[in-house]
Amino acid sequence: MVTPDNSRTASDVVIDVQGLTNRFGKQTVHDKLDLQVRKGEILGVVGGSGTGKSVLLRSIVGLQKPAAGNVHVFGQNLSALAPQERSRYERRFGVLFQRGALFSSLTVLENVALPLIEYGGLAAREAQHLAAIKLALAGLPPEAGNKYPASLSGGMVKRAALARALALDPDILFLDEPTAGLDPIGAAAFDNLIVTLRDALGLTVFLVTHDLDTLYAICDRVAVLSAKRVLVVADIDTVAATPDPWVHDYFQGPRGRAASKAALSKAALSQQEPH
């Protein structure tokens, strides 16, 4: 386990997971898991199949009730709050689920406008105006708003789902495998978009992924789930050097070496460009 960075203050921590335990029947997925997420960072969460990456995300956003432990967000223990107060905090979350989870019977614009109507209390016309702005932020052309999800490409579905996640101007963005199924060019463009939005909107990003290019390209820190807990959380070079069989195979295998080399090449080119 990496020694915590004690130079950070409590105000830097926006998500504090303490002793989290999740069980499904007799199966224990997490056992006294601890993790902190810092304000303004992009934290990548990785781990082998069955380590509970998505379950951890769902526990933080309140969709999965843990068997034990606490989740503090913005300094509040959400499970201890009254429903109305808890809802107020949860509106500061934006969530992009796997495969988008858009409503197939609604247009893209209607999908994005829905949380503005349901939770923001806006009239339909005003909500759709703001939804169009969110679609533009997510990099979609205006004509995409009138289409149904089934008629969109995989990359456009991801961007539409991102626009919906941004609808209520969240402070924390949760992304569950956002580049899964995208071609390398589309995935790289999506990664760049996340960084741009983080910097422009001051977001904190909790990112579940298996995409090594994403980890090297945009993540400030990486947390590895293993043996029902967080094995290590640190910058990617420290994580990649962790003496663990799964970590070694994942980061030091052919794909990991290629992703590391690509990131180094990109950094070198960036330094050579005139500012």
pLDDT tens, residue by residue, 180-211: 888 999 999 999 999 999 999 999 999 999 99
Give the pLDDT confidence score for residue 29 in this predicted structure. Answer: 96
Question: pTM for the complete prediction?
Answer: 0.90
Beta strands in the chain (DSSP E): 13-24, 27-38, 42-47, 68-73, 76-77, 93-96, 172-176, 204-208, 221-226, 229-234
Do residues 167 and 117 lie in contact, with contact meaning Cβ atoms separated by under 8 Å? no
* Domain ranges within the chain, ordered by starting residue: 10-92+170-272
What backbone torsions phi and psi does residue 46 show, to the nearest 5 degrees? -130, 170
In tens, the pLDDT along 100-110 reads 788 999 999 99
Q: Which helix (H) or strand (E) holds 83?
A: helix 83-90
Task: Check pLDDT > 80 for residue 156.
Answer: yes
Among 1-10, 21-30, 85-94, 107-116, the range scoring the smallest mean pLDDT is 1-10
In tens, the pLDDT along 211-235 reads 999 999 999 999 999 999 999 999 9
Q: Which CATH superfamily is domain 10-92+170-272 in?
A: P-loop containing nucleotide triphosphate hydrolases (3.40.50.300)
Among 1-10, 123-132, 140-149, 150-159, the range scoring the smallest mean pLDDT is 1-10
